[in-house]
Structure 1
Amino acid sequence: QLTATTARSAGGAPAPLPMPTAATAGTTGSAKKQKTVTQNLAEAPPALRDLYHAVADHLQAAGDDVQVKTTDLYIAFRRLKNFACVELRNQIGKVLVFVKVDPDAVTLEPGFTRDVRGIGHYGTGDLEITIQSMADLEKAKPIFDNAYQNG
């Protein structure tokens, strides 16, 4: 997440720090520009889009204080801090949800939950939940609720 900040110059006056531009943000050398989460959502197959909306509806309904913030790469659901970050993976038909839940506190299930403490990913949270069906969503709801309560 990028925020505009200022540094003090030698004279004590604030000197603006350079902000990345759309042309430079998220690219390195000849790397292909990654699609934004908004583009992925717009291009998602209808079933995946419906699944995302079901996930988002549940996360938003967790409490009156839930705020939604869309970044370039994920959609954050937050109270004071993020408790869940959602990414869409159109190519593989999955909605990935990263939640602030201790992976040691849940029984990890291959293909459904994964400890991502040592794996780089966008957003916040140490537990990755893969949602590929409404059944996965139903199974994930108690974990989402836990993330909200403790986030």
Structure 2
Amino acid sequence: MEAKSKNIKLFIKLKPFEVLEPPKCYRDVSTIGHYGIGEVELTISTPEEFEETKQYIELAYNKVGG
């Protein structure tokens, strides 16, 4: 996670194909260098974007044993 002044970047442990309907704040980082262990980057800037991404955050959390 990277906390910036206007957004939060989350790198979640999902494969890009697991994000069926990618929100606009989604980015596939599987082929580029980045901080974090996941292959999916979510850049959240608004409460609405958080609501759009919450299902993928929960999915990644549950996959690692949450």
Structure 1 residue 127 corresponds to structure 2 residue 40:
yes
| Structure 2 counterpart of 1:108, from 14, 19, 22 | 22
C-alpha root-mean-square deviation of aligned residues, in Å? 1.2
2-structure distance, mates of 1:134, 1:96: 14
**2:37 maps to amino acid:** T
| CA shift for structure 1 position 104 | 1.1
Structure 1 residue 97 corresponds to structure 2 residue 42:
no
Kindly report structure 1 stretches of 4+ aligned residues shifted beyond 2 Å: 107-110
Asked if structure 1 preserves the Cα contact closer than 8 Å seen for 2:27 and 2:41, the reply is yes
Correspondence list, 1:1-151, <5 A: 86-90=1-5, 93-106=6-19, 107-110=21-24, 112-151=25-64
| CA shift for structure 1 position 108 | 2.9
How many residue pairs get aligned? The number is 63
Q: What is the TM-score of this pair, normalised by structure 2?
A: 0.84
| CA shift for structure 1 position 124 | 1.0
Unaligned runs of 5+ in 2: none
Unaligned runs of 5+ in 1: 1-85
Q: How much identity, in percent, do the aligned residues show? A: 33
Asked if structure 1 preserves the Cα contact closer than 8 Å seen for 2:23 and 2:52, the reply is no
What SS is found at the alignment partner of 2:38? Answer: coil
**1:140 maps to amino acid:** T
Identify the structure with bigger relative contact order (alpha carbons < 8 Å, sequence gap 6+).
2
Residue in 2 that maps onto 1:34: none
Q: What is the TM-score of this pair, normalised by structure 1?
A: 0.39
